[in-house]
Amino acid sequence: MSPIKRIIISCTLAFIMCQLSFIVIKKGIDKYQVHNTARLTELLYNKTPYDILFLGSSRVHLGIDPAIIDSVCKVNSYNGGIDGAGIFEFKMIFLAYLENHPPPKYLVLTLDLHSFASSNSLFNYPEYFSFLKNTVINNYLNECGYSTLKVKLFPFLEMSDYDDNTKGYFIKGLLGQNEIPVGDFEYKGYLSNSENYISPIQPIPPLDTLEVSPIARNYLADIFQICKDKNIQVILAYSPSYDHKIEQHHSNTAKIFSMIDSFAVSNKSIFLRGDNLELCSNPKLFANAGHLNKEGGREYSLILAEEINEIMKGNNPVNK
């Protein structure tokens, strides 16, 4: 056998072995990430019509229960919060959602103080490699410098982008575990956030100043324009945090809130701020300073549902 043939056979066998290993590893990871895989499939591939789409970071994902929203507002809603996401990723998910779904009547976009701190970045980009048939996802990943061609040609190379946590999911999945903790539940994209609560004595980190990127501001303007073109009403929101710990940590909090409020006013939208709600003073409603626990999510969802219901009736709950 010639050397060239030996090289070709060796490379082919190596490719087959790597791909078979990847299939086994990916199967274990998907078994563990049953919740995340299902919600991304719903957001990026399915065509279910929803009246209300919630977008935001983990503070939405773990804090807004569509069952409560649907019950109060008599609608069909979905929680599309993405852990660690900023405004660039919000725009990507929204466009990718619209590729297959009919436009929702309302987009409830929850912004964090850090939502404008970076541009053209994805918090956990490898999770999107399984959804490259959505052209928006494919294009955005390439725009961010994450080549999708290599993953399409050599799927096992996806593993080179896994962090240590994702690699550990493989073993957990094979052991029959999944990402939904005992005692918690999922529903239409929402995942309840345990019954744990924080100590009322929480140290305040050193003061810093958050970046507000001009490009990130443009992404928010783009989302408003998309919604205007598709006749989608935008509702801006800010999720509750415990005892203003997050807000006190940043020197330009007031400026960021003012900027968001200006976007709401100029686009005839409403900015629902949850940072001054009475529940913010109750540590038993928070898993940590920035995230509600299961009971906190229930209480906030009830408040938010009533506010959205007022907006649907043509009222402005901010002025009530």
- Name residues whose C-beta falls within 8 Å of residue 211's C-beta, 6 or more positions apart in sequence: 116, 117, 118
The whole-number pLDDT of residue 202 equals: 65
Q: What is the pLDDT of residue 74?
A: 97
pLDDT greater than 80 at residue 309: yes
- Is the pLDDT at 1 greater than 80, yes or no? no
| pLDDT above 60 (res 314) | yes
pLDDT at residue number 201: 72
Give the whole-angstrom CA distance, residue 174 versus residue 31: 8
Q: Which is more confidently placed, 211 or 92?
A: 92
Does pLDDT of 301 surpass 90? yes
Among 31-35, 209-213, 239-243, the least confident range? 209-213
Work out the average pLDDT over 3-27: 84
> pLDDT tens-digit profile of 64-82?
999 999 999 999 999 999 9
88 pLDDT higher than 70: yes
Q: Stretch 5-18: mean pLDDT, rounded?
A: 81
The reported pLDDT for the residue numbered 234 is 98
Q: What is the pLDDT of residue 119?
A: 72
Domains contained in the chain, CATH given: 3-319 (3.40.50.1110)
User: What average pLDDT score do residues 125-131 get?
Assistant: 94
Residue 118, pLDDT > 80, answer no
Give the pLDDT of residue 320.
56
Mean pLDDT of all residues in 108-130: 90
Residue 81: per-residue pLDDT: 97
Tell me the per-residue pLDDT of 131-146, one tens digit each, with 9 for 90 and over: 999 999 999 999 999 9
pLDDT in tens, 173-207: 988 899 999 999 999 999 999 999 998 776 667 78
Q: What is the mean pLDDT of the chain?
A: 92
